[in-house]
A and B are shown apart, each in its own frame.
Chain A
C-alpha cells in the first residue's frame, strides 16, 4: 500500500506541474496507475466491488483536483469505475445461473423442499439482478416508479446463503475472480486508448476523396495519422495547415506531412476566413468532447468552426474514446480553459517596462492573455469520428451512456 501511495503522489505532482503533455499520454498513465491501485488493494470477502470503487474514487478525486482542465483524467477514472460495476454485475448474474444449475442437480435427491428454496432464490435473484442492472444505466422514465432498488448487496446475501449448502470452494473462486476480471477489463481499456489512432485512421478513406482540399489547425497526432492513412490508400489531396500561434505547432505538422509526401500549404490563423471558401473540409483533433456535443479544442478552432459554418464547409472532429466527457459545460471558456505564460506571445526583454508591476499604480497597463483552449458549440460541428465510427453531435450522449455509469458523474 505505501508504495502505491507514493506513486499516486508522484503522479499528482506531475499533473499539477503540467509535466505530462497530451490527453492520450495522460489517460494511459492514469489507467496504469489505477491498475496498480486495484491490484494492490486488499478486498474483503463480501461487498468487494464497493471496496474497489471507494479506493479508485479516492485516488481519482486527487487526480482530478490536481489538473481539472485535463478532462481525460476524470474520464478514465469514470471508465474504470464503470468497468468495476459491470464486472461485478456479470459475476453476480453468473453466480445466479450457477446456483440455479446446482439446485436443479440436487432436485433428484432431496425432492420438493430444495426445489421450492431454489425457486425462492431464483425469483429474488431475478428481481435483484434486474434491479442491479438498472442501477448501471442512467435513471430513466422506466425506473421512475420502481424507486431505488437495493444495491448489489442482495446478490451477495443469496450467494452467502449458498454457503450453507457447502459451496465455499466455489464462492472463494468467485471473489478472486472479480479482481481478475476488473484487471482484465482495465488492460482492455489501456489497449483501446493506445490503439485509438489506428481505429480512427481506418475510417479516413471514407471521408477524404480525390482532389480534396483539407484545412487543419495546429498539430494533432490523430489528424496526422488520419491524413496519412488516406494518402496510403492512394488518395491525392492537399492540406492547408493553420500555424497555430503562439506555439506554431502547425509548422511541425507541415514538416511531417511533407515528409510523407502530401502537398501542404501553411497559412496564418487570421487567414482562415479568407481561405475557407477554397477548402472542402475542416478536420481537427479535439482536447475533449462534452456530453452536449461541444468540443474543447486548441485555441483558434472556434474561429475556424464559425468560418466553416458561414461557407457551409463540413467541420469534422476526431476524438478517441478517452476524450468523451460525461459532463455538460456551463461556462467552458472560463472553467475548462488554461492560461499559459505570456512569454509565448511577448518577449519579456522588449516589454519589461510595460509589464512592470512595481511602477505606478501597481498593476501594469499592458496585459497579456494566452488561453490554451477554445470551446466550439455543438451546432457548428458536422461530424465526430471516434474509434467506434462516425457520429452526429446529438448522438454523443449515447456513447457516454455506454461508457459511464450515472453514479460516477460527481467526483
Chain B
C-alpha cells in the first residue's frame, strides 16, 4: 500500500488537503455536538424562524429549535449513515466480487447475473419503495442503502480479482494447499485493497447523497431525529421568509460529498500513479 504517496498527493494538492480538513472538522463537530448549549429537539414557539444572530448562529427553525444544534446532530446521522452503509456495501461487494472472480464458472455466472438484475432496477426508486414499506428508521436506511449499492463495488473487485488470481504468489499458495477462503482473505483481498479503498471513499459520498435525497422527500430520517437531508425537507416551504433554513444543511452536504469525492480521487492517483494523472 502506498500511503506515502497519499501524503505526497495531499501536500501537492491543496484542495485535497482542504477536503481532509473539512471532513475532520465535520466529524469533530458532530461528535462534540453535546457541547452545544441548545437541545436540538426543544420546541420554543416564541423563538420560531429567527434569522441567524449572536445566540442562534444558524437561526431557528419553524418550531423555534436552534438550527445550529440541529445541524450538529444532523451531521451525526448523515455521516454515520454514510460510513455504515458504505461498510455494508464494501463487505457485500468485496465478498461477492472476490468469490465471483476467484471461483469463476457457474458461481461467477450466477453472481454476476444477479448483479446485472439488481443494477437494471432503478435503485433509488427501489430504496424509496422499501423505505416506504418498512418503518423508516436510521438503521433501516443504513441497511437498505448498503444492500442496494454494493453492485458496483462487486464488479470492480471481480475485475481486479481476475487479474490478481493469475499472479504467481496466488498459484504458489494454491499449490501449497491453502484453502480457497484463506487464499481470498490472505492473498487476494490485501492486494486489491487500494481499489477497495477508492471505491469505498466514493461510496460514502453517494450514500450521503442518497440518504439526503431520501430524507428530503420525507422517506428517510423521521422527526424528531434529523439529518442534513431531513432538515431540508420543509425548508422549501419557507424559502421566501427563511432562506437560511435551506442554505446551511445544503452547504454541509455539498462540502462533505465534495470532500469525499476529492479524497477518492487522491487515493486513486496515489495508489496507481501510472494509471493516470488526468
* A interacts with B: no
